[in-house]
Structure formats: structure tokens, C-alpha cells
């Protein structure tokens, strides 16, 4: 299993698998308030709504980003 980084806002957890990331930057273009590659941690999940995050994760072309709902 490769490394997984998880980010939660209490409602949703975003999982990022660096080994799968194609660095296409679609996440950064779609939600620049959340995805900031120059910062650590680079994902600031609080800066978007859960619905915005889900829409964005679905656009990740490589499958590096996925999510699960925290209450399920």
C-alpha cells in the first residue's frame, strides 16, 4: 500500500495518495483556496463546502483524490 494522507472537516474525509497523483493541477485550478501545493499541509479542507469538495474530488483524473463521508 502506498502512502495516504487524510484530511477531514468533520463531515467528509479527503484521502490523497501521492503515488497516484499526476500533478495535473486540476484540483489547484478548481479550488485554489483548498489546494495549495506550496504549503504544508497542502490541502486546507476547511476552505470549501463539502459539496464543492465532492465535485472537485470527482474531477481528479488519476484517482489520487478520493473521499468518504465521516458519518457512514
Query: Torsions phi, psi of 52, nearest 5?
Result: -65, -40
Write the DSSP symbol of residue 53.
Answer: H
Nearer to ligand SF4, 9 or 21 (CB): 21
Interactions with ligand SF4, residue window 41-70 (CB under 6 A):
60-62, 64-65
Hey, what's the cell of 6? Answer: 487524510
State which of residues 27, 34, 45, 53 lies at the interface with ligand SF4 (CB under 6 A): 27
Q: Which residues pair with 7 in a beta bridge?
A: 14
Residues present in the chain in total? 72
- Under the binding rule (CB under 6 A), the answer on residue 24 touching ligand SF4 is yes
Nearer to ligand SF4, 60 or 71 (CB): 60
Amino acid at each position: 500500500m502506498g502512502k495516504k494522507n487524510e484530511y477531514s472537516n468533520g463531515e467528509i474525509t479527503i484521502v490523497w495518495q501521492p503515488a497516484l497523483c499526476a500533478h495535473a493541477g486540476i484540483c489547484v485550478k478548481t479550488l485554489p483556496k483548498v489546494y495549495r501545493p506550496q504549503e504544508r499541509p497542502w490541502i486546507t479542507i476547511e476552505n470549501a463546502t463539502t459539496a464543492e469538495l465532492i465535485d472537485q474530488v470527482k474531477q481528479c483524473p488519476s484517482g489520487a483524490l478520493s473521499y468518504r463521508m465521516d458519518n457512514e
